[in-house]
Chain A
Amino acid sequence: MTAMLNVKDLRAYYGQVQALHGLSFALNEGSLTTLLGANGAGKTTTLRAICNMVRSTGAIEFEGKSLSGRSTENVVRLGIAHVPQGRGTFTTMTVEENLQLGAITRSDSKNIVSDIERMYAHFPVLKERHTQQAGTLSGGEQQMLAVARALMLRPRLMLLDEPSFGLAPLIVRDLFKILGKINREDKVTILVVEQNAQLALELADQAYVIETGKIVMSGNAKEIASNEDVRKSYLGY
């Protein structure tokens, strides 16, 4: 079985500083994979490199197509949705406009309306607030909006950058439940970067551990969770 996303020898740079040192990994279609690592290990950079938001070298292939040299928006147009850190909410626009923006590249305007309804079914709180300015939402609501906005693309692959950041634990559980559901029911392949390793490993079926810009461990999420080193470094017991 060929991988949906294939990353080989990825190196990324911020100015003169190298942040990724030859990273390789692959995602299978339909999988839910998590990328674990300490602060500064290069998780966010990996996601940004996939979308060509940082200068990088190496090969990234998505469904057989090379991503190198494509602008960010053209990567997105292939069906890769990226929920950035900090959520990237368009705060001065309404919730509904944010959702419409998620579908801005689609031309099937009829389905967009029904997709917005589907998002409201996933996240009822967004329906309640659909005419409100997105900036007035709470952190958790904004994160849901960000996920919903990404799904409006009808992505084949969704990249999530620390969705739990700054959210109350209960909300995080809810959110992760929904992510699992989206992965199973909508067949969206998901790559999630997380600091909350425990939750991420419960949710995911595959996991990679990244340290100072390199993959140091990979495998089945359950195996990784039971690994002594991972337990000590990331799970704290």
Chain B
Amino acid sequence: MANFVVSGTPHVRSKESIQSIMRDVIIALIPATAAGIFFFGLPALILIAVSIIACVVFEWLYQTLLKKPVTISDLSAVVTGLLLAMNLPASAPIWVPIVGAAFAIIFAKQLFGGLGQNFINPALAGRAFLLASYPTEMTTWTAPVGFSGADAVTVATPLATLKTGVMPDATLQDVILGTNIGGCIGETCAIALIIGGIYLIAKHVISWKIPVIYILTVFVLTAAIGRDGLRQPVYEIFAGGLMLGAFFMATDYASSPVTPKGQVIFAIGCGIITTLIRIFGGYPEGVSYSILIMNLAVPLIERFTEPKIFGALPKVKEAKKA
């Protein structure tokens, strides 16, 4: 007689998988990636390709050498590689993404147990490592010359100009579209990032809470604190890496809170630290560090924001009893 399969319930599963989620993140990053290549030309394309390949190769290498199941097909290394490249200046030498990928994949991700176990965002960890180790390569910004063949002259980012107390030449339209401004490959075209973010929210890959509250917090605080003589909250939320960070980095599953209330606290925290670094800190931009710092607070936040269960009993007050 036939043997029948015996298994635990449920016997039907949704179609969604880790791979399909990662695929959605990649789809959501296509507009910003295309914009980055359009503005910064061939060097951007090469950096993106090298970064993705390096991340996948390091993951495969680590897992093969340690005789672990190889999980590169889940596409998470591709996402890390793409995000890492988005956080690099187009002028970075080709070895920069390779070093960054090694740190992101091996140190930030695999040593802690791989996908889902990393307590900080691997791409951001890679970027932070690069920024600390190679500050010159990581902060040399070039003008968006695209494929025109013109020499890419060095420029300051809008946020760096703001830091000096001067309103940048780039208009609000420029920082929304990414025209005429310097910056990381993937961060300059705010509108492309917003389109990708809306796609992720519509596909239920991420919740609206973290990006919207994060951006709102920066907006409100920038408006409230202001810089010396400059109060440009609308301009500031589109400039720099805020859109990239809010939609694609702060929402990283492994390093952000699972609980709905926790996500709100996390997003507010990111917003506060970002604004403080931007206005009072040594760096012109604070998105990466604010997310990394809040990543570290996630276990604590989750501990205090566990949702109320259905049919929760009223809390017994021990003190009163005694």
Q: Does A associate with B in a complex?
A: no
Could you list which residues of chain B lie within 8 angstroms of chain A, going by C-beta atoms? Answer: none
